[in-house]
Structure 1
């Protein structure tokens, strides 16, 4: 589940999907935010303030920073987007409170059961609106934005507390590390990377999209699949069929994160050995 809560109206949107549909990274968050702005946000809104936590893998990253600039300058849907990153432990975000509305004791066997539960979890000010995510919704935003912006972030993202994309700065993002200090700015694209104003234009309401991120169902780890086969005996027939047909990795196949670690050990074997020796010695 990925949640977007509209503070001005109290509306709350949940993007629901299981791990065979998509992962939990910057491309997914960018896809959901772009869909929200283009499809679900009130067309009269021209300035958007976003409050989110500082999770580097999902919210506070170079892909999201470039996306808000893209929304302002390429789609021209908004005139200003401001991202706010509250101090850890003092955020009190509405998205966290929304999860408290969900009945955690409900008997749930299938992803569709969770969707039904979220739809009835809240009545006021309005029920939760659940979007069932399919693979067409999740796009390769990182790869797409690499073609239009610098691939590497020119400033440190971790200290950033506020970030702004304004329509009057076509090549710049402004940011600051406090909520009351001065604003810094960085150029984030090459001259001419924006579409020319006198060039061919798409019809009103149309825009280009990146390629679909995942063409086929994503396999789950083999060990997780084995555990599910043991647990499914406590479920009904429909759920047992669902878990039996899940795509899975081959035995011994590792995730990309683990593969990356193995590659590091191959490229830098001596460094890894020294680090492991130091760790054992310190213990």
Structure 2
């Protein structure tokens, strides 16, 4: 989504601010979807952002498990390697086990052209409302999403700079021969935290293939992966907007109300 969504002919072809929205929908529950929103002046839209959103959602929804309770998380996602299908996501899955939030975490990848996620329906609802709305700033985007589904309002989680953490992508060993972009189903467990399990299909009849993902010292017994209790911010300060885009945004100020003008003037530029 882009702001401001002006229709004046003088600004029709000028560059706008990009607003990002990550949907997290719990299957099998009547709870509304969570919408994690931010704009390009706060963070990018890669694996760091996706992993950080999921981690914040987990900490919002759950508390660490007391023993011997069990809890399983299954993540359904598309195959986008830069966001969902990568080693940072696998490290996050293992980290959620280490932190005690879950005893088993799985990730299943949808088959392009043959599958549908509930998030797609939510995005369609938001897109329809977006076309009917005047959006001057990211605040308007959040309000529009909140009101897009009156019967069951989405839960808007506004991500700030401090929410995006430089979560690890290299704590786990990367086994030779394992192509994570070619498997359909991945699993990590608390009972066997030093192994990653993979399947080439979604079939329950296919056996799991295990891959060693801990990094044991030579001759030593494998130990569970070690994750730090805290990771630094991914971005110490707001991200600068590209110079040409910033100049375009400044030319739109005359068509915006005072509050919106103040927001765009506060953005950093290259």
- TM-score normalised per structure 1: 0.76
Counterparts of 2:119 and 2:253, CA distance in 1: 31
Asked if the contact 1:62–1:152 (Cα under 8 Å) also holds between the matched residues in 2, the reply is no
2:230 and 2:53 map into 1 onto residues whose CA distance is 13
Instruction: Give the structure 1 partner of residue 160 of structure 2.
Output: 134
In structure 2, how many angstroms separate the alpha carbons of the residues matched to 1:221 and 1:128? 31
Secondary structure of the 1:227 match is: helix
Structure 2 counterpart of 1:194, from 224, 229, 233: 224
Aligned counterpart, 2:207? 182
Structure 1: distance between partners of 2:156 and 2:197: 33
- The answer to whether 1:123 aligns with 2:159 is no
Counterpart pick for 1:79 among 88, 103, 107: 103
SS of aligned partner of 1:6: coil
Give the match for residue 163 of structure 1.
Answer: 186
Q: Is the 8 A contact 1:51 1:85 kept in 2?
A: yes
Matched, 1:245 2:270: no
Q: Which residue of structure 2 aligns with residue 4 of structure 1?
A: 24
| Deviation for aligned residue 1:226 | 1.6
Specify the alignment match of 2:124 in structure 1. Answer: 100
| Superposed counterparts of 1:47-62, under 5 Å | 47-62=72-87
* Offset from partner CA, 1:201-250 (integer Å, 9 cap, x none): xxxxxx8221111111100111111221223332212212222331111x
For residues 14-56 of structure 1, the C-alpha deviation after alignment (integer angstroms, 9 at most, x for no partner) is: 1111111111111111111112222224878711111111111
| SS at 1:229 equivalent | helix
* Number of residue pairs matched by the alignment: 234
Aligned residues of 2:175 and 2:211 also touching (Cα < 8 A): no
| 1:222 to 1:94, Cα distance in 2 relative to 1, 3 A | same
Higher relative contact order (CA 8 A, sep 6+): 2
Other-structure match for 2:246: 225
Deviation readout 1:123-156 (Å, 9 max, x if unpaired): 34x31111111122110003xx53x323688611
Q: Hey, what's the Cα distance between the residues in 1 that align with 2:55 and 2:265?
A: 34
Relative to the length of structure 2, the TM-score reads 0.80
Q: Secondary structure at the match of 2:211?
A: strand
SS in structure 2 of the partner of residue 101 of structure 1: helix
DSSP 3-state at the match of 1:37: helix
- Aligned-pair CA distance for 1:187: 1.0
Structure 2 counterpart of 1:89: 113
Q: 1:114 aligns with which of 141, 152, 163?
A: 141
In structure 1, stretches of 5+ residues that fail to align are: 197-206, 250-283
Structure 1 segments, 4+ long, off by >6 Å, are 42-45
Query: SS in structure 2 opposite 1:136?
Result: helix
SS in 2 for 1:32: helix
Bigger CA drift: 239-248 or 36-45?
A: 36-45
Structure-2 separation of matches of 1:149 and 1:162: 18
- Residue 39 (1) aligns with residue 69 (2): no
